[in-house]
Amino acid sequence: MTAPTQTGLQVQGVHLWRGERHVLRGVHLDAPLGTFWHVRGPNGAGKTSLLRVVAGFLWPEDGKVVWNGQETRHLGDEFGAQMACLGHEPALKADLTARENIRYLVGLRRAVTDVELDAAFSRLGIAEHADRPTRMLSAGQKRRAAMVRVLLSDASLWLLDEPFTNLDVAGVELFTGLLAEHAAGGGVVLATTHQPIPAPGVRTLELA
């Protein structure tokens, strides 16, 4: 059997209804490995819904999502292992430290070492906060901690819904650099945001 070609992500003619509202109307996207996509549009245009369809959290009424030549609905956990999501909420338990949260969440995928954790927290600029209860962190610090999970996930596909929420200017620059670096290294990034993404080579998918 021939191994599937490493073609990246394709969204092919996706239609999605939420109740009586036609949210996604035949959306197409071709995101080869090594590309960084900015998904933008007004509120209600379906940006979050598109990410949820790509992730497999919603099934479209028509169309399909393909990863490396195979329809994702047939890949199951194999696709899930290659994907990392960051939503509006950081999804961290308040009574655990940031380190405990990330060790547990990344540990669901793979073993993670203290050296890796220390390096990732340092890279996100929150090393001094890693062992504080998450409830004591600011919204921006929680956002950075959540990004540590994405960074350590070893996932090829990053799906990020408003990743710059609660970040200061330095945080936006840091995140932008991380996303661009992931794409440059052969990954695929889909990020929704209302603000411009000041990184070279960013492609745009406009949802009306």
CATH of the domain at 131: 3.40.50.300
**How many domains does one find in the chain?**
1
Residue 172: inside a domain, yes or no?
Answer: yes
- What's residue 6's pLDDT? 63
- What's residue 208's pLDDT? 85
**126-150 pLDDT tens trace:** 999 999 999 999 999 999 999 999 9
What residues contact 14, with CB distance under 8 A and at least 6 apart? 24, 26, 27, 28, 50, 53, 60, 62, 63, 64, 65
Residue 196: inside a domain, yes or no?
Answer: yes
Residue 152: inside a domain, yes or no?
Answer: yes
Residue 66: inside a domain, yes or no?
Answer: no
Residue 166: inside a domain, yes or no?
Answer: yes
How far apart are the C-alpha atoms of 83 and 149, rounded to whole Å? Answer: 12
Residue 27: inside a domain, yes or no?
Answer: no
**2-46 pLDDT tens trace:** 444 568 999 999 999 999 899 999 999 999 999 999 999 999 999
- The residue range of the domain holding 123 is 34-57+76-206
